[in-house]
Structures are given as C-alpha cells and as structure tokens.
Amino acid sequence: MSSRTDLASTLRSLDGRSYGNLKQIRGRYTFGPVTLFIDRVQADPFASPSKVRVRVDRDEAKFPPELTTDRADRIAASDYLQRAGNAVLSGIGQRATILGRPGQEILERTNILIDDAGFEARLLVNLPARGRSILGHQAADILTRDLPEFAQTLFLFHSWSDADSLASADAHHAADAHHATDVHAQSGPSALDLAAHVQLHRDQLELRDHLGEAGLIGFIGNGAILPRQAGDSDRPMDAAAAVGFTSPPELEHTVNLSSGRSLTGMGIPRGVTVIVGGGYHGKSTILRALERGVYPHIAGDGREWVISDPSAASIRAEDGRAVTGDDISAFINNLPSGTDTRAFSTTNASGSTSQAANLVEAVEAGARTLLIDEDTSATNFMIRDERMRALIPAEQEPITPFVDRVRPLLTRGGVSTVLVAGGSSAFFEVADHVIALDAYVPSVVTERAHELVGVSGENLDAHQDHADGTDSDDTGSDGTGPGEPGGGSPAFGAVRRVPTAKALRPASKTKSARAKGTDRIQFGRSFIDLVAVAQLVDAQQTAGVAEALEYLAEIFDGRTSLTEALAEIDGMLEAQGLDGITGHRDHPGHLTRPRTQEIAAALNRYRELRLAH
Ligand code: ADP
Ligand code: MG
C-alpha cells in the first residue's frame, strides 16, 4: 500500500511528461482514514474521465448505525450523501464529479456505496494536462489533497457541524422537528438532514406496505402539490400558484405510522377507478403523480405522500413500436390478415395493437395496477360506442375495447385500473369509483355516474359478464373458465414467452448496451426507443436498464422465460445490490436501479428480439 507522499511525488515527477505515463498511477493509496482507489486512468486528456473511488471504513466514519444498517436505510442515506457530496465537490472545483444529479426520487444508485465495511464515493476525475503533457502538480493537488479532503468532509460523520444533535436524547424528534426542505440547496452535510431523509424514506415505505394491506393501490396525501413547475421540469409548482390536494370525504383514509407521523389523504381502492372532469382541470396531473408514486420522493417535492402500488404501470398507445410474440388476443382478434394474435409480432404496431401489447407486457412483468390516460390512448382500443357496435358487426371488428376487458382484468387477473376519461361516459358502468375534478379539487360522483347509465355498484360484474358473452372472440360458449385452454377467454399476459439463447447477442453487436439519455438505448447496431416508457426517471436509470439487458443476455438459454429471467435479475439485485448487475471492471458509479417493469419494457421494444417459443 502506498502513501500520500508516494502518489504526490510520482505525480510531480510526471509533470510535463506525455499523458500516457499517467497509466502507472493506477492502484490504491491511503491518506489517513481515506483510501483512494484509482481504478482507470484516461488514455489522453480528451478521453472520458478517469475513474476513482474514495473510501472510509465504518470505524473511522462513525455514522450512527441506526441510520446506515438496514438495506432501505442505506438506500436513503446513500441518496442523501450523493446530494450532499455534489455540493461539497462543487466547492472543491469542477475537476471531479459524482456522475449524475439525482432528481426528485430517492433511488438505489451506485454513486455512493454503503456496505458493512464502510462508505465509498465513486467519482470521475479529469486529470489535468497542457496539450498532451501531464500537469503533475495540479494532478497531485486533486488526487492527494482535494479528494481525500472531500471524503473526510462527506464520510467522517463526527466532523459534520451538527453531528452532536443526533446524539441527544430523542433523535427522532430532532429530525422530525427539523424540516429539510430542499436537499439540493444544502451546502454541507447535516446530521439532521440525513436523519430526516432516512426517516422520510422509511415512512414512505411503511405507508406503501400499509396500503397493500388495506387494499389500496394508491394514496394522495392532503396538501400534496401534484403539478410541476413546467412540462420539462420535475420540480414542484410554486406552492403559491398550486392548489394543494384535498381528499373527498368518501375516500379519505388516515394512517398512523410507527414514527408517530399521521397522514390523511385519498385512498384509491383496488378496482376500477375513473377520473373525469373538464379539460385542464388536473386529471392528467393526478395520473402522472401516481405514475411517479411507485418511487419514494425527497422532502419538498410535494409528492412525498403520493404512494402507488410499486408494480403500477403506465399504459399508452405507441404506434410504430415492434412487438414480438405477445398474446394480445384478449383485445385483438380476427385480423383481416388472418394473423394469430395469441402470438402477435409486428415491426410496426398500430395505436390499438401497441396499447394492447403494452398492457399485456406490463401484466406479464407483474403489474397489478394499470394507469391509463385518455390523452395518450388509442380511442378504438379504449371504447366503441353503441351505434358503432350496431353498424359494424362484431365479427368484422378485430378489437374488443378495453372497456369490455377492464372488469375481467380485475376479477380474473387481479389487475386494477386507474383511468382518466373526460371525453366519454363509456367507463361509468364498469367503474367502482368515479372521481370528478373541478378546478383541481376531487369529489366522488360514483352514484350519479352509475345512475346515468343504469347500473348499481353491486351488479357491476354481473352486468359486465353479460357484455362479455356477446364479444366477438368468445368462441368458447362451452362455459370454460378464465385462462383455460380452449375457452377463448381473455389471456392477460399469461403466455410464457421464451427468448432464444442468442436473443440478446446479435452478430452485429460488438459493444455493450449503452444508454443514450433517458429515452434510448444503443444495442448493437439498433436503438431501443423508450420515449413511451413514462416511469423511467433519468439517464442513469436507463443505464441501469442497459446493464440489465447485458445481464439478461447471459441468462437466456432458449429455455428460460422472460418472466423467469426478470425474476432472476430481481433476486440477484436484492441479494448483491446494484453493483452485481454490471460486468464493468472499474467502478459502476453511474447506475440507478430500474424496476422490473422498465427492464421488461426495454426488452420488449428491442426490435431483434427472437423467441424460441
Ligand atoms: P387535464 O388532464 O384535466 O386536461 P392537466 O392535468 O393537464 O389537466 O392540468 C392542466 C394544467 O393545470 C397543467 O398546466 C397543470 O400543471 C395545472 N395543474 C394541475 N393541477 C394543478 C393544481 N393542483 N394546482 C395548480 N395547477 C394545476
Ligand atoms: Mg389530460
């Protein structure tokens, strides 16, 4: 093991020499409590930056173990340290960075690692040069002075200005009473902020667990700020301009968390919930908040207490996408081409077929809640009105609209739906709950809506089963039950799709999959388009998806189904953490953990996906 003076003198002696000589500084160095790992040295000053890590052991760092032991707590603490670390680094200078600026979500990332042994920051450093010569003295300053200093500031807990405040009798209350409003704005790490961040995350997860037990698929706390600053911003709208959320009394639900926090808001029960209201009254904003409610949010976001079923998937039309072997027969049948829609493939899906594919793929990947907005749906996928049903005989219409499937999806598939539909009353008769928005204020109008279409809450499914019996594709009038072969009953993602062993190893692919921003992955010579995948948070999460595809390539052997492979990744991630997903030899400090849903979404959009059966 080398020491500070070794590395510093090596770097100084390299001053003015050609850049390639820097290679020799790879290795591990200690600076008091800090260990510096130089994992990869850039080949020249214009290449992508060098990769380094700084690490402090637990017995030196002396973090409160109660904040950094549990797995979920570590995720929140890492998230906090990354945000604080960004601020500390910008104080030091711009040469070194932690990749990526976390947004509004608290997510598992590889930028800061907390493990049993200690704390580690993964950094990129641009080692300085003049032309192609090494600037040795400056490099020495960065690597042997600034970075060790950074690690000490961030990881030596007792050096934090308010470290003592947590030692006081009741840390819970200290953190609770302390309102960390905007982590981005913090200048240095704060013990109270860290504790508040970890506690907020715990409370959100506890609320999420509670919702599952209480039969709720979503919760929006009273006072929540749902609208965002702008269409291209995920920050909250100015509180003075926004109308805070208030639950209608009928759906109001109060939860007392073990931290002592009590939350009241709107609980959305399992079932079919339809959101109606005039244009521009906030319908899509609610749905979008629920989409993001699958992730925990930072303090001050406004959506801290907007919590959704973690499997919830946003479903939209996406014409032009490729589809490989999906069973969309629950929605599409009797295509004029004679195509079998129980294993439907196309390189260019229509609006309705793409939405059907998105839906069955989401269910296949484990979604138990679907979020659908009329703004981004194919009308003919969603509804067909009476006159059209009269004009076009069922045999000539390939589409069984979603309105006819939303209840079987629930009663047979256990999948709930939250739907925004301001333009049609068609969903009234299949809705358990109808929520109307008036100037962003929700009220329950279920009874009135049911009256209008002549149904009552009790006969929803009876009514629907009748409607079901008249469907064009219900060839199985022999009374066979749901999902049983030959019954002609709708399959919702039940089909077992098995990719070929080479499915993700096309001959054209010489480089690993790479994220190109949030919405695209380069995979071999092709690109996977993720623009329609609404619940991808940032480029770093897309990078996580790209790594997952590489990992899937190893799993697929012509026998393992897509669902089994996704479960295998999930199990590995739970056991090994996010580092386990990467084959990188140097540090993988650029990944955010994606959900299974988004990994599946990318795989399903890969145009060269081939199935063994
Ligand atoms: P809809 O889907 O009903 O047509 P949107 O959800 O798109 O309406 O919202 C319309 C506009 O109102 C958007 O610009 C949105 O930011 C804003 N908005 C939504 N909810 C609120 C709110 N609670 N307070 C203030 N503005 C809001
Ligand atoms: Mg809308």
Cβ of 282 below 6 Å from ligand 1: yes
Mean pLDDT by 10 residues, the chain (613 residues): 77 96 96 96 94 96 95 97 91 75 94 96 94 96 94 96 74 56 62 96 98 97 98 95 98 97 98 96 98 98 98 98 96 90 96 97 97 96 93 91 96 96 93 97 97 85 51 37 42 83 85 93 94 96 96 96 96 92 80 97 96 91
Q: Which ligand is nearest to the CA of 278?
A: 1
The whole-angstrom separation of Cα 104 and Cα 107 is 9
Cβ of 227 below 6 Å from ligand 1: yes
pLDDT of 487: 39
pLDDT of 589: 82
Cβ of 46 below 6 Å from ligand 1: no
CB 61 within 8 A of CB 191: no
Cβ of 288 below 6 Å from ligand 1: no
pTM here?
0.93
Counting atoms of ligand 1 from 1, which one is nearest the CA of 286?
6
| C-alpha of residue 309 to centroid of ligand 2, in Å | 22
Amino acid at 527: F
pLDDT of 87: 87
Counting atoms of ligand 1 from 1, which one is nearest the CA of 282?
6
| C-alpha of residue 417 to centroid of ligand 1, in Å | 21
Structure tokens at 216: 């709720």
Cβ of 339 below 6 Å from ligand 1: no
Cβ of 226 below 6 Å from ligand 1: yes
Cβ of 338 below 6 Å from ligand 1: no
Sequence-distant (6+) residues with CB within 8 A of 600 are: 361, 362, 364, 365, 562, 566
| C-alpha of residue 602 to centroid of ligand 1, in Å | 30
| C-alpha of residue 280 to centroid of ligand 2, in Å | 7
| C-alpha of residue 287 to centroid of ligand 1, in Å | 11
Cβ of 279 below 6 Å from ligand 1: yes
The helix/strand/coil state of 178 is coil
The backbone region for 303, taken as left when phi is positive above 0, alpha when psi lies in -120 to 50, beta otherwise, is alpha
Residue minimizing CA distance to atom 25 of ligand 1: 242
Cβ of 285 below 6 Å from ligand 1: yes
CB 312 within 8 A of CB 367: yes
Of residues 133, 151, 155, the one with CA closest to residue 142 = 151
pLDDT of 498: 97
